[in-house]
Amino acid sequence: MATYLLRRLLLGCVTLVAITVVVYGLARSMPGNPLTAQLGEDPSRKVSAADYERMQRAYGLDRSWPEGYLQWAGNLLRGDLGRSITRKQPVTTLIGERLGPTLLVSGTAFLLIWMLAIPLGLYASARAGTVDERGVSLVLYALYSFPTFVAALLLQIVFSVWSKGTAWELPLFGMTSLPPDAPLAARIVDVARHMILPVVCQTYVSLAYDTRFIRATMAEAVRQDYIRTARAKGAGPWRVLVRHAFRNTLIPLVTLLGLSLPALVGGSIIIEQIFTWPGMGRLFFESIRERDYPTIMGLTLMFSVLTLLGQLLADLLYSAVDPRVSVE
């Protein structure tokens, strides 16, 4: 077990180096840099050539990207993710500020997805072939095919524009519309109301996907001989479905679960952008637009670590749910 973990960790480190080298190289090779991206947006801020030179040196932009990468990696080993060039704040502070709002939306969506997908998937497999199951499956397939950005805009029109002034009205975007000194209870209600549309958007696609995934793996499981054995010893239909079939579908499910870990923290770029939600997805999008290399690298590193951890977690859970698998 210990040697297995050690091997996985070493392999993970190699993977991380590869990912960060590629991403740093690509980011630095994009046209423009943090200075031009900022200055280009604001024609009033003219900078003299000498000042531009000086600023480039100050941010280390005059050096080649391999040198820049080594410097970034060196700082990282000392526990320093660097400072954002465009926001003048440590990258860790920026990530810390954005993590909470993202977790709020994606965590809620994550709970909703699994709390609904498992019963829905089981229901669909129990009623396989009936009219109501076909109806549910059709709706899920339609939802799965429906693009998030269209759904988000549609929801905004229905609940923010058309419902304006009614009890159904929901905030168009943002996370809060109350001042920070408002009473705590009022602020909680306010944020919760702002959350509804982003959470719905983030939930429905995964819900449709996961439910169909569970239904498909269950359809495979109920064809197995041990299901016939369970029925032959007198187990009822739900016992057969949940205890005997579903327990066996946990093996593919934990993979799905492990792979959804980075998305949980990463948030959705599209949804956060449409709803102007101050989360990680938006930070990532903005940092790329601003060519803010330290922030891009900080976020890349975090997502990569989480992806690798998610895979490791899935592999460890494997051996927990399948006695035939051992991590040795």
Partner 1 sequence: MPLFEIRDLVTAFHTTDGRVPAVDGVSLSIDRGRTLGLVGESGCGKSVTAMSILRLVAAPGRIETGSILLDSPAGPVDLVTLPDSDLRRVRGGRIGMIFQEPMTSLNPVFTVGDQIAEAVLLHRACSRGAARARALEMLRLVRLADPEQRLDEYPHQLSGGMRQRVMIAMALACEPDLVVADEPTTALDVTIQAQILDLLGDLRRRLGTAILLITHDLGVVAETCDEVAVMYAGRIVERAPADVLFARPLHPYTIGLLAARPDPDAAGRAPLRTIPGMVPAPQRFPVGCRFHPRCGHARAAATPEGPACEAPAPELLEVEPGHFVRCHYAERLGEPHPAAVEVRFA
Part in contact with partner 1 (CB under 8 A); list of ranges 52-60, 76-84, 228-236, 263-271: 228-236
Piece of the chain touching partner 1 by CB under 8 A; list 112-120, 138-146, 147-155, 317-325: 317-325
| 249 Cβ contact partners less than 8 Å away, ≥ 6 residues apart | 214, 217, 218, 220, 221
Rounded to the nearest whole angstrom, what is the least distance from the CB of residue 3 to partner 1 in the complex?
23
- If one asks whether residue 134 binds partner 1 (CB under 8 A), the answer comes out as no
Determine, following the binding rule CB under 8 A, whether residue 131 of this chain makes contact with partner 1: no
Length of the chain: 328
- Exposure of 302 in the CB half-sphere (CA atoms within 13 A): 23
Q: Please identify which residue in 229, 238, 242, 289 interacts with partner 1, judged by CB under 8 A.
A: 229
CB 85 within 8 A of CB 36: no
Residue choice 7, 228, 238, 242 for contact with partner 1 (CB under 8 A):
228
CA distances from 265 to 176, 204, 304 (A): 20, 18, 11
For 167, 222, 243, 244, the CA distances from 236, given in Å and listed in that order, are 46, 14, 10, 11
**Helices (H) then strands (E): counts for the chain:** 15, 0
Applying CB under 8 A, does 235 fall inside the site for partner 1? Answer: yes
Q: Does 89 bind partner 1 (CB under 8 A)?
A: no
244-263 footprint of partner 1 as x/- string (CB under 8 A): x--xx---------------
Nearest distance, CB of residue 230 and partner 1, angstroms: 7
| Phi, psi at 146, each rounded to 5° | -85, 120
Scanning residues 198 to 227, which ones bind partner 1 (CB under 8 A)?
224-226
Per CB under 8 A, residues contacting partner 1 are 224-226, 228-236, 244, 247-248, 321-324
